[in-house]
A = this chain, B = another copy of it.
Amino acid sequence: MSQHRHPGAPSRAGAVPALPDLPEATVARLPEYLRALHHLAETGHETVSSEGLAAAAGVNSAKLRKDLSHLGSYGTRGVGYDVGLLVEQIESVLGLTQRRAVALVGVGNLGHALAGYAGFASRSFRIVALFDADPARVGEEINGLVVRHIEELPRVAGEERLAIGVIATPAGAAQAVADQLVAVGVTSILNFAPCVLSVPDGVDVRKVDLAIELQILSFHEHRKASLTALPGTGPSTLTTLAGGAPTTDPQEAIGT
């Protein structure tokens, strides 16, 4: 997916706890735990068991405990986890104690929605600039931010350190935009354009592709449809009694 080639060097303590070199799969789940914890805190829970938190986050409880153990978590045997403490721990590990500046490039259909999306304007992230290459869109105001021309990117980056770049342009423009973002020092990119980006080592790219998600779902629909005719887990003789029952689901076929 993206490139993480941090060497196996022992983690050096800075001002922050330790950076215990978490497994990527764990990192991907921490935000989900965090959301569940916030929800628990709002509903008055002070502690939570691994079972309860796991259920709220939609994972196995053993997996959750192992994940939390990776960040040297402080749970109490026989009691559970302190919700507030765990929130702090996870936010600290994820680096959410600092507010990061986000730049959004491409204010088309999707970009426009992202600019106004609440999930982006959380406590830890702030959209500081909107860019587009289309002069017709430059100057438009969205959610209190004025769309600037992409050529102004270096100037904006000079005023404020941009931590994350979000690309919501058409596929054809995405690579050029990525290059420009990297050139001004951005080391994390969230790519909504349907194409692969090539970036230098040390730059992280995460991709969100709606069409791909649909196609994956399509595969499972296809699989399930071809399974509906199965006799079930009977005593296995497994006579392929397919007979007349066609396995094709009754949706319109597309002519090639």
Q: How far is the CA of A32 from the CA of B216 in the complex (A)?
A: 11
Q: How far is the CA of A185 from the CA of B228 in the complex (A)?
A: 14
A217 touches which of B97, B112, B188, B213 (Cβ 8 Å): B188
Q: Judging by beta carbons under 8 Å apart, are B27 and A219 in contact?
A: yes
Q: Contacts A6-B223, A110-B113, A223-B6; is A208 near B215 (CB within 8 Å)?
A: no
Q: Closest approach, in angstroms, between the C-beta of A107 and any C-beta of chain B? A: 11
Is residue A94 contacting chain B, with contact meaning CB distance below 8 A? Answer: yes
Q: Which residues 197-242 in A have Cβ within 8 Å of B in the complex?
A: 198, 200-204, 206, 208-227, 229-230, 233, 236-242
Q: How far is the CA of A238 from the CA of B5 in the complex (A)?
A: 8
Give the chain B neighbours of A112 by CB distance below 8 A. Answer: 113
Is residue A69 contacting chain B, with contact meaning CB distance below 8 A? Answer: no
Q: Judging by beta carbons under 8 Å apart, are A97 and B253 in contact?
A: yes
Q: Closest approach, in angstroms, between the C-beta of A203 and any C-beta of chain B? A: 8
Name the residue on B nearest A163 (C-beta).
Answer: B221
Give the chain B neighbours of A196 by CB distance below 8 A. Answer: 32, 36, 56-58
Q: Closest approach, in angstroms, between the C-beta of A164 and any C-beta of chain B? A: 5
* Residue among A16, A110, A221 with max Cβ neighbours from chain B (10 Å): A221
Q: Contacts A120-B211, A161-B251, A226-B12; is A95 near B218 (CB within 8 Å)?
A: yes
* Residue among A28, A200, A246 with max Cβ neighbours from chain B (10 Å): A28
29 contacts across the A-B interface (CB closer than 8 A) = A2-B220, A14-B226, A14-B242, A14-B246, A15-B246, A16-B222, A16-B248, A19-B226, A19-B227, A27-B216, A28-B212, A31-B209, A57-B196, A58-B196, A95-B222, A96-B254, A98-B249, A98-B252, A99-B254, A100-B218, A100-B221, A113-B113, A122-B211, A123-B254, A164-B221, A182-B241, A185-B241, A190-B213, A200-B241
Task: List residues of A whose CB falls within 8 A of some B CB.
Answer: 2, 4-7, 9-10, 12, 14-16, 19, 22, 27-28, 30-32, 34-36, 56-58, 88, 93-102, 109-110, 112-114, 116-120, 122-125, 161, 163-164, 182, 184-185, 187-190, 194-196, 198, 200-204, 206, 208-227, 229-230, 233, 236-242, 246-254, 256
